[in-house]
Structure 1
Amino acid sequence: MAVLRFRIYWEEDDAIYRDVAVKHTQNFRDLHEVILKAYEFDNKHKATFHRSNDHWQRGREISLEKYEKDYKAEPLLMEETAVGTEIREPNQKFIFVYDFNKNWTFLVELINVSKDDNPKLTYPCVVRSEGIAPSQYGTKGLVGDKLAEMEEKYDLSAVGEGFGEEGEESEGAEEEEDSATEEDDAAF
């Protein structure tokens, strides 16, 4: 059974992305849910996919449900549409829009197709995460594992001294300065 691997970029910052894997027979509802899980979003809002081209222009809509708006063409429904049926080219692209009030937009690109699934994985699944996901509501607190990860990555524990107001010296700096002056005096 073919497994499709998609890279989902947050539109605001392409350094933040998630790679997800789905079986070609799974539907867009499954893809929708794994994207929300990957970005730690809830599942309370309206959502839609648009088939896209290399210029990220919006095409045929694959919607969570039929919404009260004008459509150029009747939308496909996520629940009824298998992901594999909408793959038209090797690097197929989709635009995923979530929460029409906040307009969270993600760029979805097919990056790999493999013939065999991994028996150790339950599809759909997140296979790679890069960057800290945007916060769905307000600011995201860095707590627990994420803070530890940031401290480790940027060695924040070593930072501590040397930060103060301009013109203000810390006690350690004054002591170092005094001992350096004494050493200079002794040299003469």
Structure 2
Amino acid sequence: MIYRFRIILDATEDIFRDIEIQEDATFEDFSNAITQAFGFDGMEMASFYVSDDEWNQGEEISQFDMGDGQTSIRLMNETSLDGVFSEDQTRMIYVYDFLNMWTFLVELAEIAEPIQGILYPNLLFSHGILPDSAPDKQFEAEQDPYGLEGDDDDLDINDYDSLNFDENWN
């Protein structure tokens, strides 16, 4: 089977590519197809992240194992697309170049029969021109997750006597 994906740059402008690739291709193959479709040289690190319907970032599928060996990490070159994508799991986030944070929303649009004579991966459609630099990200956090909002009025960081800590703790 062939997976048809729409890969959208997370930006205000409409910039996307439609790519089809074999279901048994690895995420490394898919990463290469995405970088080529958008005109990157493919020399930067990248990762895929499983996503839910609201585009919340989940489990990472990494290019390299940079863990401490204590936890199992899924690697791009060892993980096939059909091992992750299904009719129920259709979305992922792809981040390329962690210094610039090029972020793409990846969605499985269709599962189809391969067409004889077509070489896969195949760039089906290209829309929009990639900007010179990655779009700025708006990182959002839960509103005041620690309940500190408004409490800093009474805090004087130069008044060490009122701070509740043991200066000889070690």
Alpha-carbon distance in structure 2 between the residues aligned to 1:14 and 1:6: 19
Opposite residue 102 of structure 1, the aligned amino acid is N
Q: Is residue 39 of structure 2 the alignment partner of residue 8 of structure 1?
A: no
Cα deviation, 1:65-105, whole Å, max 9, x if unaligned, reads 1136899x632110010101101434610000011100110
Opposite residue 8 of structure 1, the aligned amino acid is I
Alpha-carbon distance in structure 1 between the residues aligned to 2:7 and 2:119: 19
Q: 2:92 — aligned with what?
A: 94
Which has the larger share of helix? 1
Alpha-carbon distance in structure 1 between the residues aligned to 2:40 and 2:132: 8
Alpha carbons of structure 1 residues 10 and 132: separation in structure 2 relative to 1, 3 Å: same
Q: 2:131 — aligned with what?
A: 134
| C-alpha contact (below 8 Å) 2:48/2:92 kept by paired residues | yes
Larger Rg, first or second structure (1 or 2): 1
Q: 2:76 — aligned with what?
A: 78
Alpha-carbon distance in structure 1 between the residues aligned to 2:105 and 2:67: 24
TM, length-normalised to structure 2: 0.72
Q: Which residues in structure 2 correspond to 1:140-179 (within 5 Å)?
A: none
Task: Give the match's secondary structure for 2:30.
Answer: helix
What do you get for the CA RMSD once the two structures are aligned?
2.2
| C-alpha contact (below 8 Å) 1:91/1:111 kept by paired residues | no
Q: How many residues align?
A: 134
Cα deviation, 1:79-137, whole Å, max 9, x if unaligned, reads 010101101434610000011100110000000110x2112221112111011122369
Task: Give the match's secondary structure for 1:35.
Answer: helix
Q: 1:183 — aligned with what?
A: none
Q: Which residues in structure 2 correspond to 1:3-152 (within 5 Å)?
A: 3-13=2-12, 15-67=14-66, 74-90=72-88, 92-114=90-112, 116-135=113-132
Alpha-carbon distance in structure 1 between the residues aligned to 2:84 and 2:73: 13
Alpha-carbon distance in structure 2 between the residues aligned to 1:14 and 1:85: 32
Alpha-carbon distance in structure 2 between the residues aligned to 1:69 and 1:50: 19
State the Cα distance separating 1:12 from its structure 2 match: 1.0
Task: Give the match's secondary structure for 2:7.
Answer: strand
Alpha carbons of structure 1 residues 136 and 67: separation in structure 2 relative to 1, 3 Å: farther
Alpha carbons of structure 1 residues 45 and 68: separation in structure 2 relative to 1, 3 Å: farther
Alpha-carbon distance in structure 1 between the residues aligned to 2:59 and 2:37: 24
Alpha-carbon distance in structure 1 between the residues aligned to 2:97 and 2:68: 15
Q: Where does the alignment leave 5 or more consecutive residues of structure 1 unmatched?
A: 138-188
State the Cα distance separating 1:9 from its structure 2 match: 0.2
Q: Where does the alignment leave 5 or more consecutive residues of structure 2 unmatched?
A: 135-170
Alpha carbons of structure 1 residues 76 and 5: separation in structure 2 relative to 1, 3 Å: same
| C-alpha contact (below 8 Å) 2:21/2:120 kept by paired residues | yes
